[in-house]
Homo-oligomer: A and B are copies of this chain.
Amino acid sequence: MSVLAAQLEFLLELDKLKAVLRRTRPVGMTRYENSAEHSWQVALMAMLLAEHAEPAVEVNRVVQILLVHDIVEIDADDTFLYDESAAADKADKEVAAAERLFGMLPAPQRDAFMALWREYEDRDTPEGRFAYACDRMMPMLQNLANEGIGWRENAVRFEQVIRKNLPINDAAPTLWQHVLPRLEAARDAGWLT
């Protein structure tokens, strides 16, 4: 297969991410959002909020990380952040997914996409940590604007939200300072148990 034919086959394979559903609803909609439209929104979020990253980040790499970070869900499906039993075999499934999916690409691009995905997973660079912070912030903002529906339906506990989202504070402390009192108010309103 030519390089171009391989690239185009991968591009069409990406259509499948449009069928992977998350536990979050877009504000004002009854359906769940899918991981493709979510990836678009968090990539834009990184562009918009880059000034809040500490230390400063190379924003274009954060955007690339976020465009790529959920592709593995085509094979591994979305794992709900607060489903702690599902977390156990998530890593193995996602590695196999990354190898199959990025393995569709010519070698240099395969390696570049794999590196972007690993940077998200490993969070050992400021860009990886800020990408992760954006990915964590967005569903909290959507839940806060939606009367906590995603939390209420899944009986999410306040303590879980704090523990799982605290890494935001390492990458963008002003974002964490903004959201923390709103989470406390959500708990007081009964949206979080």
- Residues of chain A whose beta carbon lies under 8 Å from any beta carbon of chain B: 4, 7-8, 10-12, 14-19, 26-29, 33-34, 36-37, 39-41, 43-45, 47-49, 52, 60, 63-64, 67-68, 105, 109, 138, 141-142, 145, 174-175, 178
Asked whether, in the complex, the Cβ of A48 is within 8 Å of the Cβ of B18, the reply is: no
> In the complex, A105→B8 CA distance in Å?
36
> In the complex, A172→B63 CA distance in Å?
23
> In the complex, A176→B15 CA distance in Å?
22
Asked whether, in the complex, the Cβ of A68 is within 8 Å of the Cβ of B44, the reply is: yes
- A8 CB to nearest B CB, Å: 6
The residue that A141 contacts in the complex, of B8, B41, B109, B145, with Cβ under 8 A, is B8
Asked whether, in the complex, the Cβ of B14 is within 8 Å of the Cβ of A44, the reply is: yes
Asked whether, in the complex, the Cβ of A52 is within 8 Å of the Cβ of B4, the reply is: yes
The residue that A48 contacts in the complex, of B7, B48, B49, B63, with Cβ under 8 A, is B7
Asked whether, in the complex, the Cβ of A44 is within 8 Å of the Cβ of B67, the reply is: yes
Which residues of chain B have C-beta atoms less than 8 A from A29's C-beta?
A: 15, 18-19
Q: From DSSP, what is the main secondary structure of chain A's interface residues?
A: helix
Closest B residue to A177 by beta carbon equals: B4
Which residues of chain B have C-beta atoms less than 8 A from A47's C-beta?
A: 64, 67
- A39 CB to nearest B CB, Å: 5
Which residues of chain B have C-beta atoms less than 8 A from A43's C-beta?
A: 40, 43, 67
> In the complex, A27→B124 CA distance in Å?
36
Q: List 28 A-B contacts (CB under 8 A).
A: A4-B52, A4-B174, A4-B178, A7-B49, A8-B141, A11-B41, A11-B44, A11-B141, A12-B141, A12-B142, A12-B145, A15-B27, A15-B29, A15-B41, A15-B142, A16-B26, A16-B28, A34-B37, A36-B36, A36-B37, A40-B40, A40-B67, A44-B68, A47-B67, A48-B105, A60-B60, A60-B63, A60-B64
